[in-house]
């Protein structure tokens, strides 16, 4: 692959597996040094990055905690001197329940990780990018940030809010050289979907039948969208919430 990100630095949160891992590897394949951040062990992702000839390190980070995110950014800058790209991907699906059966604890946990995590990341990533005069941020929303789904209101609320904060921060930085966009994945074959399918035996067939392209997405397909949004090919793109969903929201 062309090393379009050589001498650049990327942070990927939630990179121990799934879409985050695919994105971290994709950045490394383009030549970027990659900071793999996750509350879970990211050593396997780092191993895969090094197998591609890439460079990076793992930092344990709970994005819901301000101090963890600050430490992640500080370590990135102290190690590599800069932050060129950030894919703020960490998130959880939350619990499945009608609104009247959703506990405050479940609501808060989902919003703390999904939404507050994105807030924390941009809060500390942007000052470094401002010093550099350039940067690209991609936040991970979802098709659930564009339409509603019954039974997962905390998740839907968090992802709609990510779309909103992405647009707001994009406008705040429109003249600074920092672009801020979001990807909105559809149904992707990740651990999150695997957990859902295990508890709902008919779910895989139902989910596949609902996809206009006739299949579920792959983590690598989301990663490629993230790479494009960070690249100079997307230099006039900011404030976009881009569906990567096989046509699902077009129905």
Catalytic-labelled residue, pool 80, 87, 124, 155: 155
155 in active site: yes
Closest alpha carbon to 11 in 83, 117, 118:
83
203 CB-contact burial (10 Å; exposed 0-12 / middle 13-18 / buried 19+): middle
Strand pairing class (9-13; 33-38): parallel
| Residues carrying an active site annotation | 155
């Amino acid at each position: 692959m062309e090393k379009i990100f050589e001498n650049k630095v990327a942070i990927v949160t939630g990179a121990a597996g799934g879409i985050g891992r695919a994105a971290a590897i994709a950045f490394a394949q383009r030549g970027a040094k990659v900071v793999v951040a996750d509350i879970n062990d990211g050593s396997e992702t780092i191993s895969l990055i090094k197998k591609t000839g890439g460079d990076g390190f793992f930092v344990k980070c709970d994005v819901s905690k301000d101090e963890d995110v600050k430490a992640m950014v500080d370590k990135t800058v102290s190690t590599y001197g800069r932050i060129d790209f950030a894919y703020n991907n960490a998130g959880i699906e939350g619990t499945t329940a009608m609104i009247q059966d959703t506990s405050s604890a479940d609501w808060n946990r989902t919003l703390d990780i999904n939404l507050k995590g994105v807030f924390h990341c941009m809060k500390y990533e942007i000052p470094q990018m401002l010093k550099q005069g350039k940067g690209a941020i991609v936040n991970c929303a979802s098709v659930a940030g564009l339409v509603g789904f019954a039974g997962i209101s905390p998740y839907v609320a968090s992802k709609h809010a990510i779309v909103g904060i992405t647009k707001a921060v994009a406008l705040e930085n429109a003249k600074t050289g920092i672009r801020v966009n979001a990807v909105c994945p559809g149904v992707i074959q990740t651990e999150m979907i695997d957990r859902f399918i295990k508890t709902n035996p008919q779910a895989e067939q139902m989910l596949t039948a609902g996809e206009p392209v006739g299949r579920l997405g792959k983590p690598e397909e989301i990663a490629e969208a993230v790479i494009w949004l960070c690249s100079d090919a997307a230099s006039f793109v900011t404030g976009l919430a881009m569906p990567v969903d096989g046509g699902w929201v077009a129905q």
